[in-house]
Amino acid sequence: MSAPSHLAGMPSVNNAAASSCDRINAIIESAVPDMPAKLSPKEKKVWHHVTAALLEYGLVHRTDGLALTVICRTFVDWVEATEQLDKYKAENGGNYITESANGYRTPHPLYYVARDHKKSLLQWLPEAALTIPSFQKIKGSSIDSPQGNLFDDPIEAFKNKKAGLGMRLVK
């Protein structure tokens, strides 16, 4: 007897259809993923903004939900920590250095919270093409490519270039 699987509720994969799929000419549908976790109203606002922007350029897929959840939560936490640190600085003459009972001077703990959230955010943003360098890398521009027309859509040009090379199309 086998133990009941925790994956029993997951949709099954049709292996026959998957193996017969034309992987070279497959079209990857761009779709906003479902939110995999409950988000706060602020996090939902960021979620809708980010997913709408990524969908506009065809850079979001239904499997991106987990990474986007981490990004939205981390961004909101970073903004809140930064706002609290700014409030502390305003209340203390523009300084976030605190002094302990024995005279040891150190940055306020909010400084470290904001720093850590920022560091985490900067690690996650490129994973979702939310930085200019990561967007450029996905777009496929190179140093020796000729200067493009300012009025051409760079995403459409990228899709056409990839289609011309026989790679998967992003719809």
Q: What are the pLDDT digits (tens) for 145-162?
A: 555 566 777 777 777 776
Per-residue confidence band for 59, with pLDDT thresholds at 50, 70 and 90: confident
pTM metric for this prediction: 0.66
Q: What are the pLDDT digits (tens) for 78-127?
A: 999 999 999 999 999 999 999 988 999 999 999 999 999 999 999 999 98
42 C-beta neighbours (distance < 10 Å), count: 15
* Main-chain phi, psi angles of 49, to 5 degrees: -65, -50
Mean pLDDT of 57-77: 92
pLDDT at 62 exceeding the cut of 50: yes
